Amino acid sequence: MKSYGQWCSLATALDVVGERWSLLIVRELLIGGARRYTDLRDGIPGIATDVLASRLKDLEDDGIVRRRELPPPAASKVYELTELGEGLAPAVAALARWGSQLLGPMTDAMTFRPHWLAFGLRGMLRADRAADVRLEVDFEVELEDPVRVRVDRGALTYDAQPTADPDIVVRSDLSTLSSIANGSLPIVDAAAAGRFAIEGEPDAVAAFQRLFPQPRVDA
């Protein structure tokens, strides 16, 4: 990528992660941890294999990503964020929150991966209220299977293979969740219209609502 050549912290950051697809690679590694090349390719629909390889090399060269080999019996190469790369988490979360205002309904031309929902929720989580909270939450959002996320003492992760019953079940659809997340649709209105419901023990529901408060939007 050609440098902006500006002595400016934003321009310098964009020199490193401003290329198309780069921040989506960071997204995948933030929510999924160490990933194989094939995992990254599946998690970023539309990226060409040569472009993915090129972006990974650039991110390695800039100290954002490192590559390592898993020990036997796996013995496969994986990519993961360095400490410098992990430092992008707050900025990427802020961009995701900002982007929720522009998301709009999902159309047939758009792709979706379940862990992207977990990524969006991670940006909304009030981690300062989650130090002593453990929750397993299923989102039933008109997909084949529920999307399971786990909140464990301030960290939110996506669980692709849950083994226990959830503490909470949220029933909605992706467009409604997006509208709730950006504050344009009050939860009470969504619930009254039959577009949002949350089930679980009262203490678990209260904890969930405390960790994911709906943003206030001034009229």
The tokens describing 135, both together, are 């929750």
* Residue 216 confidence (pLDDT): 57
CATH of domain 107-211: 3.30.1050.10
- In a 13 Å sphere around the CA of 28, the CA atoms on its Cβ side amount to 24
Pairwise CA distance, residues 15 & 29, whole Å = 20
Cβ burial of 119 (10 Å; 0-12, 13-18, 19+) is: buried
Confidence class of residue 73 from pLDDT cuts 50, 70 and 90?
A: confident
Inter-CA distances, 43 with 6, 24, 28, Å: 33, 9, 7
pLDDT tens digits, residue range 111-163? 999 999 998 888 888 888 888 899 999 999 988 899 999 999 888 889 988 88
Confidence (pTM): 0.86
Contact status, residue 55 vs residue 1, Cβ threshold 8 Å = no
Is the domain spanning 9-87 CATH 1.10.10.10? The answer is yes
Contact status, residue 147 vs residue 118, Cβ threshold 8 Å = yes
Pairwise CA distance, residues 142 & 85, whole Å = 33
Neighbour-count burial for 189-211, b at 16+ CB within 10 Å, e otherwise: ebeeeebbebebeeebbebbeeb
Specify the domain boundaries for CATH 1.10.10.10 within the chain.
9-87
* Residue 219 confidence (pLDDT): 43
- In a 13 Å sphere around the CA of 194, the CA atoms on its Cβ side amount to 0
Pairwise CA distance, residues 145 & 206, whole Å = 25
203 pLDDT more than 70: yes
